[in-house]
Amino acid sequence: MCANKLTMPIPEYLSEILESVRANTAGEVANYIPELKKADPNPLAIAICTVDGRIYSAGDDEVEFTMQSISKPFAYALALQECGADQVFDTVAVEPSGEAFNELSLDGSNRPMNPMINAGAIAINQLINGSDSSVEDRVEKIRKYFSELAGRELMIDRRLTESELVGADRNLSIAHMLRNYGVIDDDAHDAVLSYTLQCAIKITVRDLAVMTATLAAGGVQPITGKKLIDTKVCRLTLSVMASAGMYNEAGQWLSTVGIPAKSGVAGGLIGILPGQLGISTFSPRLNAQGNSVRGVEIFKTLSDDMGLHLMSTEPVAVHAVRTITEKDGVTTIRLQGAMNFSAGENFLHEIQQHQFEGEMVVLDLSRVITLHPMAMRMIKEGLKRIRDAGFKVAIVDPDNVLPNFTFSDGTLCAQLASERDL
Amino acid sequence: MCANKLTMPIPEYLSEILESVRANTAGEVANYIPELKKADPNPLAIAICTVDGRIYSAGDDEVEFTMQSISKPFAYALALQECGADQVFDTVAVEPSGEAFNELSLDGSNRPMNPMINAGAIAINQLINGSDSSVEDRVEKIRKYFSELAGRELMIDRRLTESELVGADRNLSIAHMLRNYGVIDDDAHDAVLSYTLQCAIKITVRDLAVMTATLAAGGVQPITGKKLIDTKVCRLTLSVMASAGMYNEAGQWLSTVGIPAKSGVAGGLIGILPGQLGISTFSPRLNAQGNSVRGVEIFKTLSDDMGLHLMSTEPVAVHAVRTITEKDGVTTIRLQGAMNFSAGENFLHEIQQHQFEGEMVVLDLSRVITLHPMAMRMIKEGLKRIRDAGFKVAIVDPDNVLPNFTFSDGTLCAQLASERDL
Amino acid sequence: MCANKLTMPIPEYLSEILESVRANTAGEVANYIPELKKADPNPLAIAICTVDGRIYSAGDDEVEFTMQSISKPFAYALALQECGADQVFDTVAVEPSGEAFNELSLDGSNRPMNPMINAGAIAINQLINGSDSSVEDRVEKIRKYFSELAGRELMIDRRLTESELVGADRNLSIAHMLRNYGVIDDDAHDAVLSYTLQCAIKITVRDLAVMTATLAAGGVQPITGKKLIDTKVCRLTLSVMASAGMYNEAGQWLSTVGIPAKSGVAGGLIGILPGQLGISTFSPRLNAQGNSVRGVEIFKTLSDDMGLHLMSTEPVAVHAVRTITEKDGVTTIRLQGAMNFSAGENFLHEIQQHQFEGEMVVLDLSRVITLHPMAMRMIKEGLKRIRDAGFKVAIVDPDNVLPNFTFSDGTLCAQLASERDL
Amino acid sequence: MCANKLTMPIPEYLSEILESVRANTAGEVANYIPELKKADPNPLAIAICTVDGRIYSAGDDEVEFTMQSISKPFAYALALQECGADQVFDTVAVEPSGEAFNELSLDGSNRPMNPMINAGAIAINQLINGSDSSVEDRVEKIRKYFSELAGRELMIDRRLTESELVGADRNLSIAHMLRNYGVIDDDAHDAVLSYTLQCAIKITVRDLAVMTATLAAGGVQPITGKKLIDTKVCRLTLSVMASAGMYNEAGQWLSTVGIPAKSGVAGGLIGILPGQLGISTFSPRLNAQGNSVRGVEIFKTLSDDMGLHLMSTEPVAVHAVRTITEKDGVTTIRLQGAMNFSAGENFLHEIQQHQFEGEMVVLDLSRVITLHPMAMRMIKEGLKRIRDAGFKVAIVDPDNVLPNFTFSDGTLCAQLASERDL
Q: At what angle do helices D188-199 and D135-150 cross, to 10 degrees?
A: 20
Residue of D nearest to C230 (CA): D313
Contact residues, chain D to chain A, C-beta under 8 Å: 104, 169-170, 172-177, 179-180, 188
Whole-number pLDDT of residue D103 = 56
- Average pLDDT of the residues of chain C: 89
- Per residue in B388-400, pLDDT (tens digit) is 989 999 999 988 8
Q: Which residues of A are annotated as a binding site?
A: 69, 118, 164, 171, 195, 247, 265
- Name the minimum distance, in Å, from the CA of C54 to any CA of chain B: 44
- Report the pLDDT value the prediction gives residue D124, as an integer from 0 to 100: 98
| C-alpha separations of A323 from A331, A370, B347, B363, C180 in Å | 10, 18, 21, 21, 63
Q: DSSP string covering B174-195, please?
A: HHHHHHHTTS--S-HHHHHHHH
Considering only the beta carbons, identify the residue of D251, D277, D345 that sits closest to C240. D251
Q: Which helix (H) or strand (E) segment is C338 a member of? A: strand C330-339
> Mean pLDDT for chain B?
89
DSSP for residue B315: P
**Lowest mean pLDDT, pick from A400-404, C392-396, D55-59, D87-91:** A400-404
Distance from CA of D179 to the nearest CA of A (A): 6
> What CA–CA distance (Å, rounded) separates A74 from A71?
5
Interatomic CA distance for residues B268 and B204, integer angstroms: 9
Look at A53-67, A284-298, C54-68, C395-409 and tell me which has the smallest mean pLDDT: C395-409
Q: What is the DSSP letter of C406?
A: B
Rounded Cα distance between D410 and D407, Å, is 5
On the CB side of C406, CA atoms within 13 Å amount to: 5
Neighbour tally for A52: CB within 10 Å: 16
Question: What is residue A315's predicted lDDT score, i.e. its pLDDT?
Answer: 59
- C266 burial via Cβ count (<10 Å: 0-12, 13-18, 19+): buried
Closest approach of chain C CAs to the CA of B172, in angstroms? 6
Cβ atoms of D398 and D366 within 8 Å: the answer is yes
Beta-bridge partner residues of B393: B361
Distance CA D350, CA D330 (A): 17
C210 labeled binding residue: no
- B379 touches B411 (CB < 8 A): no
Q: Taking 60 as the threshold, does the pLDDT of residue D45 lie above it?
A: yes
Task: Average the pLDDT over D135-154 and give the result.
Answer: 98
B269: helix, coil or strand? strand
Q: How far lies C242's CA from each of A148, C137, C316, in Å? A: 65, 31, 21
Confidence at residue D204, expressed as pLDDT on a 0 to 100 scale: 98
D32 annotated as a binding-site residue: no
Residue B82's alpha-carbon distances to A254, B225, D197, in angstroms, are 22, 21, 67
Check pLDDT > 80 for residue B2: no
**How much of chain C exceeds pLDDT 90, in percent?**
59
User: Higher confidence at residue C100 or residue D294?
Assistant: D294
From the list C73, C91, C89, the residue with the least C-alpha distance to C142 is C73
Residues in D closer than 8 angstroms to A173, CB to CB, are 104, 172-177, 180
| The pLDDT value given to residue C2 | 40
Number of DSSP helices (H) and strands (E) in chain D, helices first:
14, 12
Residue A202 parent element (H or E): strand A202-203
DSSP summary character for residue C314: P
User: Contact B390/A1, CB-based, under 8 Å?
Assistant: yes
Given a cut of 80, is residue D240 above it in pLDDT?
Answer: yes
Q: Assign residue B53 a region (left: φ > 0; alpha: ψ between -120 and 50; beta: otherwise).
A: left
Amino acid in the structure at residue D252: Q
Best to test chain A binding among D173, D181, D184 (most A CBs inside 10 Å) = D173
Q: What is the pLDDT of residue C101?
A: 44
Residue C111 C-alpha from the chain's centroid = 25
| CA quadruple C126, C132, C135, C136: dihedral sign | negative
Residues B103-120 as b or e (16 or more Cβ within 10 Å = b): bbbbeeeebbbbbbbbbb
User: Contact, C79 vs C65, CB < 8 A?
Assistant: no
Torsions phi, psi of C331, nearest 5? Answer: -95, 125
Residue-by-residue DSSP string for B62-109: T--EE-GGGHHHHHHHHHHHHHHHHHHHHHS--S---S-TT---B-TT
Report the C-alpha gap between C3 and D352 in whole angstroms.
5
Select the residue of A104, A169, A188 nearest D169 (Cβ to Cβ): A188
Q: So what's the pLDDT on residue C49?
A: 95
- Can you tell me the distance from the alpha carbon of B291 to that of C56, in angstroms, rounded to the nearest whole number? 65
Chains that touch D (3 or more CB pairs under 8 A): A, C
H/E run at residue C207: helix C205-216
Q: Read off the pLDDT band of C179 (50, 70, 90).
A: very high
Phi (first) and psi of residue D349, to 5 degrees? -65, -45
Q: Do C313 and D349 touch (CB under 8 A)?
A: no
pLDDT at D80: 98
Average pLDDT for runs of 10 along chain A of length 422:
57 93 93 82 96 93 96 98 96 78 67 92 97 96 98 95 86 93 94 97 98 95 95 95 82 91 95 92 93 95 85 67 89 84 86 89 85 85 90 90 86 80 62
pLDDT of residue C4 exceeding 50: no
pLDDT surpassing 80 at residue B83:
yes
- Rounded distance, CA B72 to CA B67, Å? 9
**DSSP codes joined into one string, B353-372:** HS---SSEEEEEEEEEEEE-
Counting one residue from C and one from D, how many pairs have CB atoms under 8 Å apart?
288
SS3 at position D393:
strand
Please, what are the domains in chain A? 8-306 (3.40.710.10), 321-421 (3.30.750.24)
The CA distance from C118 to D73, in Å, is: 33
Q: What is this model's ipTM?
A: 0.88
**Residues of C with CB below 8 A from D274's CB?**
310-313
**Cα–Cα–Cα angle for A396, A401, A406, nearest 5°?**
70
Q: How confident is the model at residue D101 (pLDDT cuts 50, 70, 90)?
A: very low
Q: What single-letter DSSP state applies at residue B316?
A: P
D51 labeled part of a ligand binding site: no
DSSP H helices, A259-292, are: none
Cα angle, residue C317 at apex, residues C315 and C321 outer, rounded to 5°? 140
Say which residue, B316 or D245, is predicted with more confidence: D245
Write out pLDDT tens, residues B139-176.
999 999 999 999 999 999 999 898 888 879 999 999 99
pLDDT at B266 over 60: yes
Return the HEC string of D320-338. Answer: CEEEEEEECCEEEEEEEEE
β-pairing verdict for D360-371 and B202-203 = unpaired
How far is Cα of residue D117 from the mean position of the Cα atoms in its chain? 19
pLDDT at C395 over 60: yes
Report, as an integer, the average pLDDT of C310-337: 81
**Beta carbons of B188 and C169 less than 8 Å apart:** yes
CA distance B276 to B338: 13
Distance to chain C for D275, nearest Cα, Å: 4
**CB–CB contacts below 8 A, A to B:** 284
How does pLDDT run across C235-258, given as a tens digit for each residue?
999 999 998 887 777 888 999 999
Q: What is the pLDDT of residue B3?
A: 40
For A235, C51, C78, C227, C310, the CA distances from C217, given in Å and listed in that order, are: 71, 5, 16, 9, 15
D247 is in an annotated binding site: yes
Mean pLDDT, range C324-333, rounded to an integer: 92
Chain C nearest-CA distance from B132, in A, is 19
Asked whether the beta carbons of C29 and C41 are under 8 A apart, the reply is yes
CB atoms under 10 Å from CB of A353, counted, come to: 10
Residues D222 and D235: their CA atoms lie apart, in Å, by 17
**How many other CB atoms are found less than 10 A from the CB of residue C273?**
31
Taking the C-alpha atoms of residue A365 and residue A375, their distance in angstroms, rounded to an integer, is 12
d(CA D356, CA D147): 54
Phi-psi label, residue D400: left if phi above 0, alpha if psi -120 to 50, beta otherwise: left
Among residues D26, D201, D172, the alpha carbon closest in space to that of D102 is found at: D172
Judging contacts by C-beta atoms under 8 Å, the chain B residues touching residue A315 are: 51, 217-218, 275-276, 338, 369-370
**C-beta atoms of A188 and D177 within 8 A:** no
Task: Give bridge partners of residue C360 from the DSSP assignment.
Answer: C330, C392
- Answer yes or no: are the C-beta atoms of A94 and A76 closer than 8 Å: no
Residues of C within 8 A of D349 (CB-CB) are 8, 52, 54
Q: Looking at D245-388, list the stretches that DSSP marks H as alpha helix, in order from N- to C-terminal side.
A: 250-256, 293-306, 341-353, 373-388
**B168 alpha-carbon distance from chain centroid:** 30
CA separation for the pair B11, B49 (Å, rounded) = 12
Average pLDDT, chain D: 89
pLDDT at A418 (0 to 100): 76
Confidence of residue C7 (pLDDT cuts 50, 70, 90): low
Chains in contact with chain C (at least 3 beta-carbon pairs closer than 8 A): B, D
